[in-house]
Structure 1
């Protein structure tokens, strides 16, 4: 779905430290996407969506604001850009061109701005926090984190039928507005088309005229560590043409927790945010 997300990280930060911590404000759209206001190369004011499933940055062909001062080469890559977010400055930022992004965004920015640092996604106060040392972990639960090619995976239990738990890994995907999206393999193996209560179905045609069918079902229970969510919307594909290779833990699920990622990217700490019990986002 998203290209070029695993290339070598080329971010470095030049910031003024206040109590060994930096704070970056963001806003959350009605589609659950995180948006940060940036100034790129001291010229282009862009709203970029935070994409936890990538490291670098990108510009969308559907952007609303001009990005005239990001110069791309023949491979649609732009090196050594500067990105300012308030008082926070990133140097040597790599941008990719023509990558789709979320609603209200001109492009994406990834986890490179937290390179080598412990960072927090604070949904209670709409801000990122970057730490030089371990922050206060009171009230948080520790989880193992799988970090692979610049992407984060977590393990969770899916209660599909009765009290039987089906374990699965999920890619943290803040660009997907919904709650859960299952891979083709998981959906087929667990027979989700019959096991879940289906609430909607849509059929699309690709450029070859092939039908792509997506369904939204309701997962009775979802367990992340000791936290349990009930009646969670879960998407999956059916039919001959399927393209989903991994399970997504989407933005609607992410916002229900505050997250602290260790600098080593092997551990994450979570606790419920103020959004934990809110109604779920309806995927169109």
Structure 2
């Protein structure tokens, strides 16, 4: 999930008119973005578009039925739980629509992906474009950097770190609004996941009511225990989101180094990523 993750899709119209730079998608029950594609002109897969991924991955289960991809190379990949040994395949093609395709792609193998999906792809696949993720119309639109952006969208600074993208948000805790940077993580089905340092520094466990506990697995099966509660308000850009689910890890401080916003928040907006200019444009749905 947090680690390097894959990029893959298949040809489908979903009954909509697909433009030259438009990729249709569907949503699963966790609001993960699912794009269909074809690998090596042979294998059709359902892939999750993962905003916190920078490699193309396919699960071990799906790899068993794929005919055109051979995992003959070994290396390691980072994930939430640490560094993981895995295998990968070189020089593959990916077709998303009749007009949008890629070649010379590496495909990595891991254990998990979003519900009903075979693997993952990241925004880095579209590195030379501005990428709009429109949840209302369920389309991804690839724009040129010079294209005008509607004034209906609110500009928010985008912070990039190793192909991971963050925005600043504010938690309303009591009478205080506390700012923090949040990884935009479309593979995480929750609302807000706090990093250990922020949780400890601000005594989060004492300031919110804990509603339940659960085990969270990363892409390679590493288990991390989380506590869940409810936050009155989360502020993103000029938008105030009421009654957000908030989670944080137990255990040693420092294991969870990034705070995260997941699909429970992401799906409330249409997003336009202008990575080259370190901006994201948001429009509340």
TM-score normalized by structure 1? Answer: 0.83
- The match for 2:73 is 74
- The match for 1:146 is 159
The Cα of 1:231 is off from its aligned counterpart by 1.1
CA distance in 1, matches of 2:24, 2:216: 37
Aligned pair partner of 1:159 in 162, 166, 172: 172
Q: Aligned-pair RMSD on alpha carbons?
A: 2.7
The Cα of 1:144 is off from its aligned counterpart by 0.7
Of residues 41-50 and 231-240 in structure 1, the stretch that sits farther from structure 2 once superposed is 231-240
The change in CA–CA distance for 1:3 and 1:225 in structure 2 (over 3 A counts) is closer
- The match for 1:276 is none
Aligned pair partner of 1:225 in 213, 224, 237: 237
- The match for 2:51 is 52
- The match for 1:84 is 95
- The match for 2:3 is 3
Q: Residue 65 of structure 1 contacts residue 106 of structure 1 at CA under 8 Å; is this kept in 2?
A: no
Aligned pair partner of 2:226 in 206, 211, 214: 214
Unpaired runs of 5+ in structure 1? 12-19, 206-210, 274-284
Of residues 244-253 and 69-78 in structure 1, the stretch that sits farther from structure 2 once superposed is 69-78
Q: Residue 147 of structure 1 contacts residue 265 of structure 1 at CA under 8 Å; is this kept in 2?
A: no
Listed as ranges, the matches of 1:251-262 within 5 Å are: 251-262=263-274
Listed as ranges, the matches of 1:21-40 within 5 Å are: 22-40=21-39
The Cα of 1:55 is off from its aligned counterpart by 2.1
Q: Residue 196 of structure 1 contacts residue 217 of structure 1 at CA under 8 Å; is this kept in 2?
A: yes
The Cα of 1:225 is off from its aligned counterpart by 1.2
CA-to-aligned-CA distance 1:192-236 (integer Å, 9 cap, x gap): 11101211123689xxxxx95421111111001110011100011
Q: Residue 140 of structure 1 contacts residue 269 of structure 1 at CA under 8 Å; is this kept in 2?
A: yes
Q: Residue 212 of structure 1 contacts residue 241 of structure 1 at CA under 8 Å; is this kept in 2?
A: no
- The match for 1:14 is none
CA-to-aligned-CA distance 1:226-266 (integer Å, 9 cap, x gap): 10011100011124487322101111111111111115151
Aligned pair partner of 1:202 in 214, 221, 234: 214
CA distance in 2, matches of 1:190, 1:256: 27
The change in CA–CA distance for 1:241 and 1:228 in structure 2 (over 3 A counts) is closer
**What SS does the corresponding residue of 1:63 show, helix, strand or coil?**
helix
The Cα of 1:184 is off from its aligned counterpart by 1.1
The Cα of 1:61 is off from its aligned counterpart by 1.7
Unpaired runs of 5+ in structure 2? 9-18, 75-86, 218-222
Of residues 26-35 and 195-204 in structure 1, the stretch that sits farther from structure 2 once superposed is 195-204
The Cα of 1:21 is off from its aligned counterpart by 5.8
The change in CA–CA distance for 1:78 and 1:213 in structure 2 (over 3 A counts) is closer
Superposed structure 1 runs of 4+ greater than 4 Å apart = none
Matched, 1:111 2:110: no
**What SS does the corresponding residue of 2:276 show, helix, strand or coil?**
coil
